[in-house]
Structure 1
Amino acid sequence: PQAGGFAANRYGMNLGSASVMYASLPYDPFTPFLKGDKDIPIVPLEALPQRLGEGEQRVSFMDTYQTYGLMMHISGALGVNCTYCHNSRSFLTEETTPKHSLALIGIRMARDINTSQLEPMAGLYPEEVLAAHGGEVAKVNCLSCHQGVFKPLYGQSMLKDYKGLN
C-alpha cells in the first residue's frame, strides 16, 4: 500500500534501482540527460537562495538529485568512482581531470544516438517491443557499451574489423 497525502508522491525516487546503483536517487536519470538535452546542473550554493542575479539560474535540490543519479549510473557503468572524472577536493571548481571532458563527449554521444538514430526508428518496432519499454524504443546509456569497465571492450581496437572507419 502507498501512503496518501504529501507522502504519496515519490518524485521518481526512493525505490531501489540498478540504474542508480540502488541509491535513493531518482531512478530515471536517462530521460532528462540522455534523451533530452537538459544541462547537468551542479550542487546549489545555498540552501534557500533569496534572489537571482542577472543571468543566474536556480539549481533546485531535485536537479541535484537527478545529477547525482546520473553520476551514480556513470560510476557503476564504468566501474570507477567520482575521482575518475572529478577533483574530490572541490566538486564546484573547474579543476577536473581530462576524463571529465571525455565523459561529457560520451554523454553527448549517447544523446545523439538516442535522438537521431533510435527515436526515428520507433515506427519500425513491433507494438509488443514498444510496450515493454513504456511505448518508446529502448535507449542507450553508459552501461550499453562500457558494461562495468572504464574502456569499452577494455580498450580493444575495433578499427581492423571496420576498414571504413580508418
Structure 2
Amino acid sequence: MDSALLDDIISRLLDFRNPRPGSARQVQLSESDIRQLCTASKEVFLQQPNLLELEAPIKICGDIHGQYGDLLRLFEYGGFPPEANYLFLGDYVDRGKQSLETICLLLAYKIKYPENFFLLRGNHECASINRIYGFYDECKRRFNVRLWKTFTDCFNCLPVAAVIDDKILC
C-alpha cells in the first residue's frame, strides 16, 4: 500500500477527534481505501505467526466493539502508535455505531507499524457472529455486502493468540 495514501487515511480517521458529545459522525473513506486497507493488512497478518511472541512493555486492550470514540480516547490516554506498543485482543466490530472507523484505524496502524501494533482475532471477527450483531448491517448500509466479505477474508488471517515475555498468554 502506498505510504502517502496510508498516512492520508490515518489522518482522515484521526481528524474525527473532538466531535460533539453524543455524535457519531462518520469518517469519509472510500470503498477503495477500505479494500486497500484489508488487502495490505491481510498480507501483514500472513507474514506473521498465528501465535505472536511479544515483549513488554506493551499495552493490552480488550473489546472495542465499534466504539470509535473510546478507541481514540484510549490512544489519547496511552499514546498514539508508535509512541506505545499495543496488543488488541479482538472484538473490534459489532454492537457500536462505528465499527468501520474502528477497524479501519486499527488495520491502518497494523500496516504502518507491523512490529509495534498487534491485533488478535476475537469471536466477533467471525462471519457467523458479525453477520448477526451489526457489522454486516453497517457494511451493507454504508457500502455493500462485497465489502463485508472483504473484511471476512481479512479477519480469517488474524492471529489467534499471543505470549508476552514467555509468561502471559493472551
TM (normalized to structure 1)?
0.29
Higher strand share: 2
Relative contact order higher in (CA < 8 Å, ≥ 6 apart) = 2
Largest Rg, 1 or 2: 1
TM (normalized to structure 2)?
0.28
Higher helix share: 1
